[in-house]
Amino acid sequence: MWPLLKGWSHRFWEGAAPTWSDRVDRSGPDYLGPLASALLHVRPEPERALDIGTGLGDAALLVAREFPHARVRGVDLSEEMVRRAQARIGLDPEGRVAFKVADASNLPFEDDSFDLVTQLNMPPFFKEIARVLRPGGFVVIAASWGPRTPFYTPGPVLRRGFGKHDIDSVESGEAAHGSFFVARRHDAPPN
């Protein structure tokens, strides 16, 4: 990400963190509906999942509830968002859910690290998602309010962007007031 844009973005999200839960609460209980609907198309259950742009961790915590055996990581550019998300975990003796400060354009994970990568109300980071997604893994892009979502990306753009990285569309649809897109990375070629 360009340094000027990255600096602006970081400052914006740091400043938004203290009141972010109020903004989300005002959006109504359905804002996670598109993500929840999309997760129904992720089979088999992932072992490791990553939520990019996790904010207060709502999407990561939903993924953890839906897939009780998966280890879930959430990343966000804002240290304050990550601190608040981490505080929501409570007792997690197995360390199944964790949050980390990270730039979505340069994720601090090895190649092929995750079976599932999610983004809720975020612009897609095609190259980084493809890099950290295991062969056969799923990516879910959800928009709480469909085209009215501030960081909405239309389906054709998602299909084209992920298609360049051998990630093919599996399902797309609408749920609650929003939309979702599910895609899967090609399995590794046979030896």
The fold for domain 35-185 equals Rossmann fold (3.40.50)
The CA distance from 100 to 73, in Å, is 8
Tell me the mean pLDDT in the region 89-104.
Answer: 88
Q: Is the dihedral of CA 98, 103, 153, 165 positive or negative?
A: negative
pLDDT at 150: 86
Q: Residue 93 above 60 pLDDT?
A: yes
Report domain extents, the chain. Answer: 35-185
Q: Quick one: which of 179, 181, 131, 132 has its CA closest to 160?
A: 181
Note the pTM of the prediction, 2 decimals: 0.85
pLDDT at 54: 95
Q: At 22, is the secondary structure helix, strand, or coil?
A: helix
- Helices (DSSP H) in the chain: which residue ranges? 3-16, 20-26, 33-39, 58-66, 79-87, 126-132, 155-163
